Structure 1
Amino acid sequence: MKTVARDTKIVERLALCSIPVSIGVMGLKMFAWWVTGSVALLSDGLESFVNVVAALLAYFIIRYAQRPADHDHQFGHHKAEYISAVVEGVLIVVAALMIIQEAWGALFAPKLPDAPVLGLAINALAAVINAVWATMLIRAGKAQRSPALTADGHHIMSDVVTSAGVFVGLILAVFTGYAILDPLLAILVAFNILWQGYKVISHSLGGLMDKALEPEEEAAVRETITAHSQGALGVHDLKSRRAGAAAFIDFHLVVPAGMSVGDAHDICDRLEDAIKAVIPGATLAIHVEPEGERAHGQKVKVEGTPS
């Protein structure tokens, strides 16, 4: 497996473009609500208002996270993106609660929407725009390892689910004459949004808690060590953590007791270059120890390393 180095210009440009897109979609949805008076469409519009706030937050956090390391933040500012993603998850939950509040009141005084065809057409247009944009953000966020961009994409995709549910519900309400379907559907959609918010928050908290590399990434690191550790006897205590686009990897490298510092250094340089080619943005710390040393009384040898 080989990951791709982040293109900071792509990440920043997409984050910036999210702002006018979210504002335009919110305008369409609020216009659809104004035309119809539907509480479900109002709820959809309220979620889009949260999207605007989230897009603004994501843009400024992404710019901050891409700052180079400084004296106060010597490992960089990468984790700021996780903060943005957590806040965005909270905003998703807030949007769901706002929807439930609006729909709850309408349950006791339901009414069929006015001009439903025009309102649904406007809302459908907004949903299509959101679906295309959310797909772009999620793909780019994963490819560029941007938690903030990915969270923004999932947030917008939850909005698409909302719009689809509202569309179906309003059609049923109009054709059956059961006006209560409008607020009932809004509540059901709100619970789906709550679930999306939970997933965004839990994933982002994993990053803030120094979650290790993904299993396939760690496997790639081990394979790379095996292929480029000629001259060494083995490694142990391999540890890693992911911080947005950055990865931090450290391990102990066991070498023959009589090996010179220069030769051990050459092996470390070779390993660093090979691992950085597989995990772009990685920062490595390799502790060299002579044969006979044992971490915690036991050396754990990476399978396939020289004996």
Structure 2
Amino acid sequence: MADTSTRRTIAISVASLLVALVVLGLKGLAWYVTGSIALYSDALESIVNVVTAAVALVAVSLAAKPADAALPYGYHKAEYFSAVVVGVMIIIAAILILREAWLGYLEPTLPQAPVQGLAISGIATAINAVWAFVLIRHGRAAQSPALEADGKHLFTDVLSTIGVIVGLVLVYLTGWAVLDSLLAALVAINILWSGWTVIRDSVGGLMDVAVPAETQRVIREVIAGNADGAIEAHDIRTRQAGKMTFIDFHLVVPGAMSVADAHEICDGIEAKLREAVEPAQITIHVEPEEKAKHTGIVVV
């Protein structure tokens, strides 16, 4: 059965999909009443939000599954694949927006119903701002790349929408219709950057990037402080997959030490590491003293 944190993550993912659908409806209405290309670009980005929220829901549900014979290390990386899909969808949306911006630039028209359109867009933006904060905060707390990526994209959407609203006010005040298309192009460029950062961060997880330097320092301190009886620990390797931290290293013990005593040392180190880095999967390879490299953590 999934733990409380996992159940909450899945519940937030479901809510995120519902919020995305509501915001899409509002932004679609804002575009419909104004005919603005900039608001069209904003609505199109909300379609991406719906897709990414659905993908994130599938990913966090899959990542919550326990390890099995097919995937003995678990399903944690499913969230990284989700974030890559999100990034690709964002880039596709940006390309579609650039196309509409170019067509609008060739034949500029002044948007209609300014007050209604901007009011509807403002409500949608307020909803997105609140929800982006919820997603980023919970995504970091639960170490969920999918939720955090969704929240960061949503926050980017909030910033771009604010820019669109300010720009459209200028369009209505100046009567310069071509500014509508230029705003849409700026939104597209902003979305492209957002898509690139999401893909870049996700690829790091897929490539088994090491945990942050501060976490590595904690791991080394825990090993050094709880390996009494051993000689040294070397070849310490770490990687992050979703919320799971993987740690493996070689532990050198005296050649005369019994297997039972060496196993007891390993159990003690594992227990302390799990207290310091949760959740974690730990693999310790025990070696005799002639295997010491004198380059790792010296215990005695």
User: Does 1:300 find its partner at 2:260?
Assistant: no
Q: Distance in 2 between matches of 1:6 and 1:205?
A: 28
Q: Which runs of 5+ in 1 are unaligned?
A: none
Q: Distance in 2 between matches of 1:300 and 1:287?
A: 16
Q: Distance in 2 between matches of 1:162 and 1:48?
A: 12
**What's 2:180 paired with?**
182
**Structure 1 171/15 Cα, relative in aligned 2: closer, same or farther at 3 Å?**
same
Question: Superposed, which structure 2 residues align to 1:1-307 within 5 Å?
Answer: 7-294=5-292, 298-302=293-297, 305-307=298-300
Q: Indicate the RMSD between aligned Cα atoms, in angstroms.
A: 1.3
Q: Distance in 2 between matches of 1:142 and 1:218?
A: 18
TM-score, structure 1 as length reference: 0.94
Q: Which runs of 5+ in 2 are unaligned?
A: none
Q: Distance in 1 between matches of 2:157 and 2:94?
A: 10
Q: Distance in 2 between matches of 1:201 and 1:83?
A: 9
Partner SS for 2:290: coil
1:196-228 deviation line (CA, Å, top 9, x unaligned): 110000110111111111111111101111221
Partner SS for 1:113: coil
Using the aligned pairs only, state the percent identity.
50
Contact 2:41 2:187 in 1 (8 A): no
Distance apart, 1:306 and its partner CA: 2.6
| Structure 1 residue ranges (4+ consecutive) displaced by more than 6 angstroms after TM superposition | none
Contact 2:77 2:205 in 1 (8 A): yes
Partner SS for 1:249: strand
Number of residues paired by the alignment? 298
Q: Distance in 1 between matches of 2:163 and 2:187?
A: 7
Contact 2:149 2:198 in 1 (8 A): yes
Q: Distance in 2 between matches of 1:223 and 1:168?
A: 52
Amino acid at match of 2:294: K
Contact 2:171 2:180 in 1 (8 A): yes
Amino acid at match of 1:188: L
Q: Distance in 2 between matches of 1:306 and 1:59?
A: 45
Amino acid at match of 1:275: L
1:159-190 deviation line (CA, Å, top 9, x unaligned): 11221111111011111111111110110121
